[in-house]
Structure 1
Amino acid sequence: MSSKTPSSLKWLAGKRSRLAGKLTAYQHELVEVEERQLWLRNEIEKTAGLIAAVDSTIGLHEIQIEPSDIRPTRPRRKALFAHGMVSRSVLSFLHAHPEHWFSTSELMDVLCGAAKIFRTDYDPDFLRRLLRRRLRAMAARKILERHGERISNTEQRWRLSRQHTGRSVQRAADASSRCIT
């Protein structure tokens, strides 16, 4: 005779499981942040050394000015992703896995990996909005399929549409037949 596990114990086990998963995710993110901090500290030291070199060069000029009087300018930010990179990265990944559904978070990891950026360097909501906007646009053009049910408010599942998969296979077959003849 087996005894039934009480619902309160099941709830506690589930709660502990979710919390343990959160803890693991935070620990991984902490390692990424510490690596980023180390890189930033090195960049700060290099830049401070370059400023000191420029300041000493300014002191050699015949017209004397105080280097600290020169106001810093904000560096121009280059675009986070090159033109078309979001679409190219997502499509190349989905072409490699045509029959599988992927969540928005999984595609975000693919995009960050392709761009060689840390997810923690930028506002995650900004990255997610950027990716979701692009995914919705590709779904409207029937390049991607969106799974009917949402995982959460910000999570959905995506895959390459069957029409698009067929066309890419046909293009590849046409290209290979041209090469053979």
Structure 2
Amino acid sequence: MNKTPSALKWLAEKRARLAGDLQQSLLLAEELSQRISKLQHQLAAVDETIRIFDATLEPENIAPVAEWRQRYGRLGGFRDAVIDIVTKNSPAWVSSEHIELGLLARLDISFQSPAHRKRWRENSLRPALKRLLADGTLERRHDPEVKSGKHGYWRLKQAATVGLADL
């Protein structure tokens, strides 16, 4: 039995990862293509309806806007949801992953791609956890300076316990 060279093993693993990424990207492209087609049909229907109401108005001249959705319910809903998830597990430590999955389910959040989910995690979840830490609502078990590649752990700020050694 011949030993497989490490360079060939690396190439095979690299190829497998690239093939997986390509497969996911092709599925995403197909989903986006379907979404684009659906949106184009809806836009054409709305344009036709506008022309029925006012033949002088050109729908193409109406500037597009980015939709703002109140994604997390009322103001402070995202923060409250994070606190609620941590509270339900109190006084135990809760991983960032558990908080993330709880938020996705509770707030019915979905993403178009893993990149969108990562961006949400970095721009919404992480800052929310840091703000709750800064205002004294949460405490963390992990050292933020150590990049372990693992999820952090959080819990509600616990009352300081005074032991015999502290006296």
Tell me if both proteins adopt one fold, taking TM over 0.5 as the criterion: yes
Q: Which residue, 137, 152, 158 being the options, matches 1:157?
A: 152
Cα displacement (A) at 1:135: 0.5
Q: Which residue, 51, 58, 71 being the options, matches 1:67?
A: 58
CA–CA distance in 1 between the matches of 2:67 and 2:148?
38
Pick closer, same or farther for the CA change 1:54–1:142 going to 2, 3 Å.
closer
Task: Please tell me whether residue 44 in structure 1 is matched to residue 49 in structure 2.
Answer: no
Q: Percent identity?
A: 13
In structure 1, the partner of 2:80 is 88
In structure 2, the partner of 1:174 is none
Residue type matched to 1:74 in 2? V
Residue type matched to 1:158 in 2? Y
CA–CA distance in 1 between the matches of 2:33 and 2:100?
22
Residue type matched to 1:151 in 2? S
Cα displacement (A) at 1:55: 1.0
Cα displacement (A) at 1:26: 6.2
Pick closer, same or farther for the CA change 1:115–1:162 going to 2, 3 Å.
same
Structure-1-length-normalised TM-score: 0.55
Report matched runs for 1:127-142 at 5 Å: 127-140=121-134, 141-142=136-137
Pick closer, same or farther for the CA change 1:70–1:45 going to 2, 3 Å.
same
In structure 2, the partner of 1:78 is 69
Q: Which residue, 50, 54, 57 being the options, matches 2:50?
A: 54
Residue type matched to 2:54 in 1? I
Residue type matched to 1:131 in 2? L
CA–CA distance in 2 between the matches of 1:79 and 1:123?
18
Tell me if structure 2 keeps the 8 A contact 1:112–1:118. Answer: no
Tell me if structure 1 keeps the 8 A contact 2:50–2:59. Answer: no
RCO greater where, 1 or 2, for CA within 8 Å and sep 6 or more? 2
Tell me if structure 1 keeps the 8 A contact 2:47–2:59. Answer: no
Note the alpha carbon deviations across 1:134-180, whole angstroms, 9 max, x for none. Answer: 1012223142424124334xx6512224728xxxxxxxxxxxxxxxx
Residue type matched to 2:119 in 1? D
Tell me if structure 1 keeps the 8 A contact 2:87–2:156. Answer: no
Tell me if structure 2 keeps the 8 A contact 1:150–1:156. Answer: no
Q: Alignment RMSD, CA only?
A: 4.1
Give structure 2 stretches of 5+ with no counterpart: 160-167
Point out the structure with the larger helix share.
1
CA–CA distance in 1 between the matches of 2:96 and 2:87?
15
Q: Which runs of 4+ in 1 moved over 6 A?
A: none
Match of 1:160, SS state, is strand
CA–CA distance in 2 between the matches of 1:25 and 1:109?
23
Give structure 1 stretches of 5+ with no counterpart: 60-64, 165-181
Cα displacement (A) at 1:51: 1.0
In structure 1, the partner of 2:108 is 115
Residue type matched to 2:142 in 1? H
Cα displacement (A) at 1:68: 5.3
